[in-house]
């Protein structure tokens, strides 16, 4: 792959932008005829020398190095290795094929340029003109007229203006978008009351039953649904129908805008459809994963995943290899989730980088109010509040606090959010986000998930004094070597493990636990604030479209007044830090999430953090029993007996404190 050798061969040539990989050249609906090289050149020239450009270069260099490392591993495979892994892959492919279910009919509906379409509906004078929703800092979406110039969502506005000088900017209005989203969902419920909302502008519907009840085919239902949405809102949408959700989402993008595509529930039709499908069309495969699959395995289409399955099983973890093989077979999720409840709720906003504390607090107030409204609308209240910051240098920091009480009001959220922000000031920020998690099931009527494992179960399921490096959920296949573990997620760094606990630190005076993850140029730091705190470090690599992994080094931080609490925490078994093993699997509970599930992974991380802090909190209120040697215990026993005899002679009524430390 071009540029896969560590920096791009074109850096010193006449066209250095050709080695500058960017998501902005990815073809979205309506961008089929765009001159990609022109877009790439403009993005390169407008970004060159900026903090963003430097950050992208560091990430690109890291991924190039990772590709090289994986290529070396592939080259070391012997013929015997390949024969073995071919048998493993063939056996698993047969099992996956046997699980194929063509009985369900899934429909994915996606609104066409939703934000832009709503603004055009509100202001008809924008019709036919290139327009983008957002500002010169960042674009949320662009209409199809603007996409012809290469303008797309998640692109800085100043770059979009360079590509299209006539581009019109319209400010974001989420209240308006939410209103129209609610109207579309009224239509969706007619066909599937339990539809799955992917976002404000997309949803998955299981239309199997409605097709049977009405004795109509899926094509008629798709047409009827699209007509219903247009009648209700005046907006157009596109639909895709397939045997599972993964393929339905791919199908909905084929005939955009205002179109539909039907993939029959037939194995041959599915395999033919998948055979020439570019891997980037699959949800869960982003820019970095595509780079690795192409650069290491020379995989460009989904069909080639099956052809190279022996290499996938040899180099990658079993869950990751199985995901890719499932894609090659055209398999995806087909059943409606039985347990559906929130684990967290969040809001974030991007703006021009600023150090103005007044403006930052104003943004914080807005986020707290929006978050409170969303939580109260769903009857939620939570204990863990997380603040997310992205600095002007694209460094991402997350600081969390777990409270003694559950909160949902904007006043409570703002009160604690201000404390978290104050700890980071002064700082130049371009994004602020707030997230609340660890909800109270009893107070908020949120049924617990019976399938969700907890860190408490993980710790107590075995010997409490077991070595902290023992991981029953981690197979040998998860590890590349004794010294290096493949813990990468998309563009995350492969790193050496350190199992020490980064969250052992000061216990705050108000009873709340607080920690901070700081991501600096590919390095995350987990910080516990205190007067004499020494930071814990977590080395990983992070970008907006993926989640994180890496190496934790925990350092105990305590002062004299907290020595006993710290000693107690250290004497207990050291819980392992949550990591994403081999790009896919949580090291604590074994749950599997693809790299593209960014929010879900953040929520999952918050969940484990909250469980850990809650457990540590419960330990603090338990009696302290220091570990002693056998001789020390014998000496204490003799002393206790002697003191008890003296007290009995004096008819004393008090039990000596030493007796509490004697194991009876």
Highest mean pLDDT among 15-19, 437-441, 442-446: 437-441
- Residue-wise pLDDT for 338-373, tens only, equals 555 678 899 998 888 899 999 999 999 999 999 999
- Residue-wise pLDDT for 394-433, tens only, equals 888 999 999 889 999 999 999 999 999 999 989 999 899 9
- Residue-wise pLDDT for 461-491, tens only, equals 444 333 333 333 333 333 333 333 333 333 3
Question: What pLDDT was estimated at residue 619?
Answer: 64
Please give the DSSP secondary-structure letter assigned to residue 511. S
Identify the bridge partners of residue 131 per DSSP, sorted by sequence position.
168
Across 378-404, average pLDDT: 90
Q: How far apart are CA 615 and CA 573, in angstroms?
A: 12
Confidence of residue 492 (pLDDT cuts 50, 70, 90): very low
Q: How far apart are CA 368 and CA 115, in angstroms?
A: 23
Question: What pLDDT was estimated at residue 561?
Answer: 42
**Cis ω before 257 (30° cut-off from 0):** yes
Question: What pLDDT was estimated at residue 234?
Answer: 96
Structure tokens at 593: 């999430």
- Residue-wise pLDDT for 72-113, tens only, equals 999 999 999 999 999 999 999 999 999 999 999 999 999 999
- The answer to whether 401 touches 384, Cβ cutoff 8 Å, is yes
| Residue % of the chain over a pLDDT of 90 | 45
- Residue-wise pLDDT for 609-661, tens only, equals 777 776 766 665 555 555 444 455 455 555 555 544 544 444 444 455 555 55
Q: Where are the beta strands (DSSP E) in 7-144?
A: 106-111, 131-134, 139-142
Full set of structural domains in the chain with CATH? 77-102+267-338 (1.10.150.810), 106-125+172-265 (3.30.70.270), 344-442 (3.30.1490.100)
Which residues, in sequence order, are CB contacts of 611 under 8 Å at separation 6+? 454, 455, 456
- The answer to whether 486 touches 479, Cβ cutoff 8 Å, is yes
Of all helices (H) and strands (E), which one includes residue 349?
A: strand 344-354
Q: How far apart are CA 607 and CA 639, in angstroms?
A: 46
Confidence of residue 214 (pLDDT cuts 50, 70, 90): very high
**Cis ω before 592 (30° cut-off from 0):** no
Rg of the Cα atoms in the chain: 28
Which listed residue (60, 119, 202, 575) is catalytic? 202
Which residues, in sequence order, are CB contacts of 374 under 8 Å at separation 6+? 345, 347
Structure tokens at 222: 């798709």
Q: What is the DSSP string of 414-443?
A: HHHHHHHHHTT-S--EEEEEEEEEEE-HHH
Identify the bridge partners of residue 363 per DSSP, sorted by sequence position.
none
Q: How many residues does the chain have?
A: 664
Question: What pLDDT was estimated at residue 622?
Answer: 56
Question: What pLDDT was estimated at residue 324?
Answer: 94
Q: How far apart are CA 97 and CA 348, in angstroms?
A: 41
Across 504-514, average pLDDT: 40
202 is annotated as an active-site residue: yes
Question: What pLDDT was estimated at residue 453?
Answer: 54
- The chain-wide mean pLDDT, for the chain, equals 75
- Higher pLDDT, residue 455 or 346: 346
- Higher pLDDT, residue 192 or 516: 192
The answer on pLDDT for 153 being more than 80 is yes
Confidence of residue 576 (pLDDT cuts 50, 70, 90): very low
The answer on pLDDT for 299 being more than 90 is yes
- Residue-wise pLDDT for 531-557, tens only, equals 343 333 333 333 333 333 333 333 333
Q: Which of 49-53, 199-203, 435-439 has the lowest mean pLDDT?
A: 49-53
Confidence of residue 2 (pLDDT cuts 50, 70, 90): very low
- Residue-wise pLDDT for 20-55, tens only, equals 556 555 667 777 778 777 888 888 888 787 777 788
590: left (phi over 0), alpha (psi -120 to 50) or beta: left
The answer on pLDDT for 559 being more than 80 is no
What separation in angstroms does the CA of 184 have from each of 193, 246, 362, 371? 13, 22, 32, 23
Q: What is the DSSP string of 117-168?
A: HHHHHH-GGGTTS-EEEE-SS-EEEE-HHHHTTT--TT--HHHHHHH-TTPE
SS3 of 372, please? helix
Across 234-241, average pLDDT: 96
Q: In what order do the strands lie in the sheet with 106-111?
A: 196-199, 202-206, 106-111, 237-242, 260-262
């Amino acid at each position: 792959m071009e540029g896969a050798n560590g920096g791009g061969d074109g850096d010193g040539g006449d066209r250095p932008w050709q080695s500058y990989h960017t998501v902005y050249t990815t073809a979205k609906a309506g961008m089929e005829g765009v001159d990609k090289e022109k877009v790439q050149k403009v993005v390169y020239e407008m970004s060159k020398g900026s903090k963003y450009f430097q950050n992208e270069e560091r990430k690109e260099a890291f991924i190039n190095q990772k590709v090289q490392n994986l290529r070396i591993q592939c080259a070391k495979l012997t013929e015997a290795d390949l024969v073995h892994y071919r048998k493993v892959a063939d056996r698993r492919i047969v099992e996956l094929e046997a699980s194929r279910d063509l009985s369900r009919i899934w429909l994915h509906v996606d609104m066409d340029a939703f934000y832009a379409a709503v603004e055009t509906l509100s202001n008809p004078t924008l019709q036919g003109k290139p327009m983008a929703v957002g500002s010169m800092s960042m674009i949320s979406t662009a209409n199809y007229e603007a996409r012809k110039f290469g303008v797309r969502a998640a692109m800085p506005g100043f770059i979009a203006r360079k590509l299209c000088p006539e581009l019109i900017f319209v400010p974001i209005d989420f209240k308006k978008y939410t209103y129209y989203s609610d109207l579309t969902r009224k239509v969706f419920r007619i066909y599937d009351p339990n539809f799955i909302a992917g976002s404000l502008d997309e949803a998955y519907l299981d239309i199997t039953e409605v097709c049977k009840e009405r004795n109509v085919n899926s094509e008629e239902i798709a047409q009827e649904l699209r007509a219903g949405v247009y009648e209700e809102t005046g907006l157009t949408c596109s639909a895709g129908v397939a045997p599972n959700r993964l393929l339905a989402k791919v199908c909905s993008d084929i005939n955009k805008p205002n179109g539909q595509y039907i993939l029959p529930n037939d194995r041959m039709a599915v395999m033919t459809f998948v055979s020439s499908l570019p891997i980037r069309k699959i949800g869960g495969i982003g820019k970095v994963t595509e780079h690795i699959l192409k650069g290491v395995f020379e995989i460009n289409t989904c069909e080639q995943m099956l052809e190279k399955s022996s290499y996938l099983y040899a180099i990658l973890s079993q869950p990751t290899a199985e995901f890719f093989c499932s894609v090659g077979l055209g398999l995806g999720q087909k059943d409606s989730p039985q347990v559906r409840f929130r684990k967290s709720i969040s809001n974030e906003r991007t703006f021009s980088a600023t150090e103005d504390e007044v403006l930052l607090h104003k943004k914080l107030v807005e986020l707290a109010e929006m978050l409170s409204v969303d939580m109260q609308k769903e009857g939620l209240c939570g204990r863990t509040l997380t603040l997310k910051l992205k600095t002007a240098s694209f460094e991402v920091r997350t600081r969390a606090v777990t409270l003694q009480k559950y909160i949902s009001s904007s006043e409570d959220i703002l009160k604690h959010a201000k404390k978290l922000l104050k700890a980071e000031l002064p700082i130049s920020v371009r994004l602020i986000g707030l997230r609340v998690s660890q909800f109270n099931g009893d107070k908020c009527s949120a049924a617990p998930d019976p399938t969700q494992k907890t860190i408490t179960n993980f710790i107590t399921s075995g010997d409490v004094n077991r070595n902290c490096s023992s991981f029953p959920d981690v197979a040998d296949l998860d590890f590349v070597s004794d010294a290096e573990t493949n813990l990468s997620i998309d563009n995350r760094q492969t790193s050496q493990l350190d199992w020490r606990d980064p969250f052992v630190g000061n216990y705050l005076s108000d009873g709340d636990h607080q920690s901070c993850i700081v991501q600096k140029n590919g390095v995350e730091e987990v910080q516990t604030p205190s007067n004499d705190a020494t930071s814990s470090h977590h080395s990983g690599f992070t970008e907006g479209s993926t989640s994180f992994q890496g190496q934790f080094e925990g350092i105990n931080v305590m002062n004299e007044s907290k020595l006993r609490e710290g000693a107690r925490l250290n004497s207990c078994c050291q819980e392992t830090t949550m990591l994403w093993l081999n790009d896919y699997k949580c090291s604590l509970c074994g749950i599997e999430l693809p790299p593209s599930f960014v929010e879900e992974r953040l929520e999952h991380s918050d969940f484990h953090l909250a469980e850990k802090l809650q457990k540590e909190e419960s330990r603090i209120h338990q009696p302290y029993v220091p570990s002693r040697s056998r001789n020390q215990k014998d000496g204490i026993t003799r002393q206790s007996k002697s003191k008890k005899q003296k007290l009995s002679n004096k008819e004393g009524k008090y039990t000596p404190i030493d007796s509490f430390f004697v194991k009876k």
